[in-house]
Amino acid sequence: MGRIVRCGCLWSAVLGIVSVLTIHRPAFSDERDWCDYLYLPPYGEDQANALEDYTRCLTSGELDDERMSDVYAARGILFRRTDRLEESLSDFDDAIELTPDKSAAYWSRGKTWLEIGDIGLAIRDFTTAIELGDGISFYYLDRGKSWLVAGNSDNAISDFDAFLVLAERSLMNENVDHWTTEIVRDLILADVNPEDVLPFMGRLTKEERESGYNLLIEAQLRALQGDQAHALSLFAAAIPELNERQIIRVENELLRLGFGNMTSDGVWSQSDQVRLEECLKSGCVIEIVN
């Protein structure tokens, strides 16, 4: 499969476990009260303080197994955030040993395995989390990402479908378009067959599907299918919706592909549209990276 429209949008990683709050460090004078109050600080120097706090709690002798497991899991997440991946794995191992029926620790350990690059162990942990997790959607999303890295697009698509079904039923429903767009991007970057990507485009709301970026994506997918007429109509609809940076990328790509310079005023003109159509008809594939 040829190159395709690509966006460097940040993949919005889901960090944390369901029982951990992301807040600033509170002020407590009593050690035991403090150990009962888990938090994940913002990125920065507060993370070092949090690691010290968690370590102090783990050696306090005041926590039962369930609470110890929560603290190990929270510290494991902070170790992962600070690229201390072996220590992260060790903490998740301890959390799982204390409470082997908690799905979140398997999920978090799977995310660490994914960062390390051991896809097999990541998939194993995500699968265990799914089996224990009573339909928590992000477990499917991260296993789908792992299957994609492993080159198994069929399993990835199945997990992405399961994720979106669960997300649509949950409080995350308002963010489904965002996650669907991210999934489409990942499938494209993995060179998945356009026939398998287009159904995800169909899940977007009308407003989101008609955004400039998504019109460009669908246009490229249609072009790769050989449906040039449909692709050209989508490109024509996309141009007025593009932001300045995206238009510059289109201009640069057309120039690179030998279709001349853009107009001096930087405004997309009819002649530019003609050049775009000529480019498509010649079989070019434009790459856009935000």
Q: What is the predicted pLDDT for the residue at 138?
A: 92
| Range in 6-10, 60-64, 115-119, 120-124 the model is least confident about | 6-10
The total of structural domains in the chain comes to 3
CB atoms within 10 A of CB 254: 20
Q: What is the pLDDT of residues 87-136, one digit of tens each?
A: 999 999 999 999 999 999 999 999 999 999 999 999 999 999 999 987 88
Query: Could you tell me if 38 and 26 are in contact, meaning their C-beta atoms sit under 8 angstroms apart?
Result: no
Output the domain CATH number for residue 117: 1.25.40.10
Model confidence at 33: pLDDT above 90:
no
| Close Cβ partners of 253 (under 8 Å, ≥ 6 residues apart) | 286, 287, 288
Phi and psi of 44, rounded to 5°?
Answer: 135, -160
Looking up tokens 């960090």, which residue turns up? 15
Residue 56 to residue 121: CA distance in whole angstroms: 30
Q: Which two tokens stand for residue 11?
A: 């993949």
Model confidence at 20: pLDDT above 50:
no
Q: Are residues 152 and 194 in the same domain?
A: yes
Residue span of the structural domain in which 171 resides: 136-208
Q: What is the predicted pLDDT for the residue at 164?
A: 94
End position of a domain, from candidates 130, 159, 175? 130
Q: Which two tokens stand for residue 134?
A: 């009573």
Q: Which two tokens stand for residue 90?
A: 């060790």
Give the count of alpha carbons within 13 A of 261, CB side only: 4
With respect to residue 57, please indicate whether it lies within any of the assigned structural domains: yes
Give the count of alpha carbons within 13 A of 95, CB side only: 25
The predicted model scores a pTM of 0.76
Average pLDDT taken over every residue of the chain: 78
Q: Are residues 122 and 217 in the same domain?
A: no
Q: Are residues 28 and 118 in the same domain?
A: yes
First-to-final CA distance of the chain: 21
Q: Are residues 43 and 82 in the same domain?
A: yes
Q: What is the pLDDT of residues 185-232, one digit of tens each?
A: 899 888 899 999 999 999 999 999 888 888 888 887 887 787 877 877
With respect to residue 11, please indicate whether it lies within any of the assigned structural domains: no
| Close Cβ partners of 71 (under 8 Å, ≥ 6 residues apart) | 35, 38, 54, 57, 58, 63
